[in-house]
Structure 1
Amino acid sequence: MADVAAKETKKIIIDTDPGIDDAMAIFVALQSPEVQVIGLTTIYGNVYTTLATRNALHLLEVAGRTDIPVAEGSHVTITKGTKLRIADFVHGADGLGNQNFPPPKGKPIEQSAAAFLVEQASLYPGKVTVVALGPLTNIALATQLDPEFAKNIGQIILLGGAFAVNGNVNPAAEANIFGDPDAADMVFTCGADILAMGINVTHQVVLTGVYLHDPAVVVAAVDPSLFTYTEGVVRVQTNGITRGLTILYNKQKRFGEVTEWCDKPTVKVAVTVDAHTVVKLVMERLIES
């Protein structure tokens, strides 16, 4: 009986563009008994999607977890944009610091990332958390593919937005939101239980000069109590010089006019972080892996 009473481990799917910090985040998740990684979905961002898939397969092989499926995600933005912003100048041409690993033995599953997300959410309604570490195209596609997805998915914890601080692509925008602002606006307003972790919070989680953006987001799935949150409607600017800007309506001001924030579902946005404990947890689990 005891194990029935024990809290169910949280099923998570990591939507990822590996990336060195994504690799750390994936290893932290795999070493966290609080969560069960049931799949990786891939997206462009640090690298193009094809390479993201290859890197995801490689990381699972390194971790000895080839039982975990990898579903390849979109190669273009939600509006079919092909001019992608790829941050290979940060992560090396292969996304993992130019280590020139041999090609992985494994292959992605036949399903697209969006189809896999929809399937898992409907198999385990309310039980699956998506940890989104890249642009939000796959998640937006899932909401288009299945009108029930927003209801079926347990939670979407996403790395995105700058919320009242300057962005890291330009003064307005954070990289993941900037990668596909139209998809981001669709996700923020889809009605799912969403927790946005912006760089205003992840910039506080620093390991001797390296920001632990992606691992911090996994930690929010592992132990949400290490962060505080505010709640409101988030909209994303999709054009002009502030394209990618995330604006949170904090409900403290009442507007006379009808606005683009009216009648939209609210989401949670992280405000503070116990950075010391997050770094400690990430380091312990990386050392274990």
Structure 2
Amino acid sequence: MATGELKRIIIDTDPGIDDAMAIFLALQSPEVDVIGITTIYGNVYTTLATRNTLHLLEFAGRTDIPVAEGSHVTITKGTKLRIADFVHGTDGLGNQNFPPPNGKPIEQSAAAFLVEKATLYPGNVTVVALGPLTNIALAIELDPGFSEKIGQIVILGGAFSVNGNVNPAAEANIFGDPEAADIVFTSGADVLALGINVTHQVVLTDADRDKLAESKGKFAQYLCKILDVYFSYHRDAYDIKGVYLHDPTTVLAAVNPSLFTFAEGVVRVQTNGITRGITIFYNKKKRFGEDTEWSNKPTVKIAVTVDAPAVVELLMERLINS
């Protein structure tokens, strides 16, 4: 496949065990060309997210991919961040304490890098956003034309008609920066969101992990080393013998949307009170008489169903053949 036909993607990420899995999956996907990775807080603080990203790329032998460091604070300059190190280990990668990477991030900020690439390849870059949406909202603020220039923004975020995973209202990535999320959802960009209503259907089981461990795959072997912490968290928090594949599923939605079905409507994010971070999807089935915060807002797509066995099979095959 010539580069002209490859889907150019930038991954915005906070590695994170399932982020590591998603990055490896993207690198193993012949349909895409990863043209850069931007970092954000979430599973770990931004500085560590950058370090982990550089480490993962070094392990993968892909130091040619530029890494742009993202924001250390929310879009409203909030510094009290919710960091999920209890899910991924204090180092974000299963407490393996890998040696520091040799690489450095580029001078450009994540937002400037996103704007530059969207301008260079108008309509031809997909951002796969695996953390809070601060960097993407900053790119929209930096360049009002960004929403038109960016091909697609595929978001892991939200909990549509189900409970959240930070509290009953909110999912972690949206809760991480609700103001930024609302900017992105109402920006007019081509947005595709995968909420935990979909990603919770995609589970990597103990048996799958054993298959990865028995394989010769370089990435499969690496992931088996770091997965322990993640499995025990899921056992305690959800009482399941497996882990949810949030991030890899989102990468595959960018690569192969035919594995999903989508609904189109307006999404707004509540930014205060007890439901701060909740994502409300308006299906446009009813026409309301009065002008509201929902009127004349651009529509986005949200994932409604997923072919979970196909997603797991594709992930396994690509990691095993690495």
TM-score (structure 2 length as normaliser):
0.88
8 A Cα contact 1:177 1:244, kept in partner: yes
Q: Which residue is 1:38 aligned to?
A: 35
Q: Secondary structure at the match of 2:271?
A: coil
Q: Which residue is 2:299 aligned to?
A: 266
Q: Which residue is 2:97 aligned to?
A: 100
8 A Cα contact 1:14 1:37, kept in partner: yes
Once the two structures are TM-superposed, the CA of residue 255 in structure 1 deviates from its matched residue by 1.1
Q: Which residue is 1:113 aligned to?
A: 110
Q: Which residue is 1:75 aligned to?
A: 72
1:114 maps to a residue whose letter is A
Could you tell me which of 28, 33, 38 is aligned with 2:25?
28
Could you tell me which of 138, 145, 150 is aligned with 1:148?
145
8 A Cα contact 1:14 1:39, kept in partner: yes
Once the two structures are TM-superposed, the CA of residue 192 in structure 1 deviates from its matched residue by 0.3
2:316 maps to a residue whose letter is M
1:249 maps to a residue whose letter is Y
Q: Which residue is 1:190 aligned to?
A: 187
Q: Secondary structure at the match of 1:219?
A: helix
Q: Secondary structure at the match of 1:14?
A: strand
1:123 and 1:134 mapped to 2: Cα distance?
24
Runs of 4+ off more than 2 Å: none
Larger CA deviation: 7-16 vs 27-36:
7-16
Could you tell me which of 51, 56, 60 is aligned with 1:59?
56
1:87 maps to a residue whose letter is A
Once the two structures are TM-superposed, the CA of residue 286 in structure 1 deviates from its matched residue by 1.4
Once the two structures are TM-superposed, the CA of residue 101 in structure 1 deviates from its matched residue by 0.5
8 A Cα contact 1:35 1:221, kept in partner: no
2:165 maps to a residue whose letter is N
Q: Which residue is 1:281 aligned to?
A: 314
1:167 and 1:285 mapped to 2: Cα distance?
30
Q: Secondary structure at the match of 2:86?
A: helix
Q: Across the two proteins, how many residue pairs are aligned to each other? A: 286
Q: Which runs of 5+ in 1 are unaligned?
A: none
Q: Which residue is 1:249 aligned to?
A: 282
1:252 and 1:276 mapped to 2: Cα distance?
32
Could you tell me which of 254, 257, 260 is aligned with 1:227?
260
2:161 and 2:105 mapped to 1: Cα distance?
38
1:274 and 1:264 mapped to 2: Cα distance?
30
TM-score (structure 1 length as normaliser):
0.98
8 A Cα contact 1:113 1:138, kept in partner: yes
1:142-221 correspondence to structure 2 within 5 Å? 142-208=139-205, 209-221=242-254
1:252 and 1:151 mapped to 2: Cα distance?
27
Q: Secondary structure at the match of 1:214?
A: helix
Once the two structures are TM-superposed, the CA of residue 288 in structure 1 deviates from its matched residue by 2.1
Are 2:130 and 1:133 aligned?
Answer: yes
1:87 and 1:138 mapped to 2: Cα distance?
19
Once the two structures are TM-superposed, the CA of residue 7 in structure 1 deviates from its matched residue by 7.2
Q: Secondary structure at the match of 1:234?
A: strand
Q: Which runs of 5+ in 2 are unaligned?
A: 206-241
1:183 and 1:7 mapped to 2: Cα distance?
32
8 A Cα contact 1:44 1:86, kept in partner: yes
2:161 maps to a residue whose letter is A
Structure 1 vs Structure 2: percent identity of aligned residues?
A: 83
Q: Hey, which of these two has a bigger chunk of helix by percent?
A: 2
8 A Cα contact 1:31 1:285, kept in partner: yes
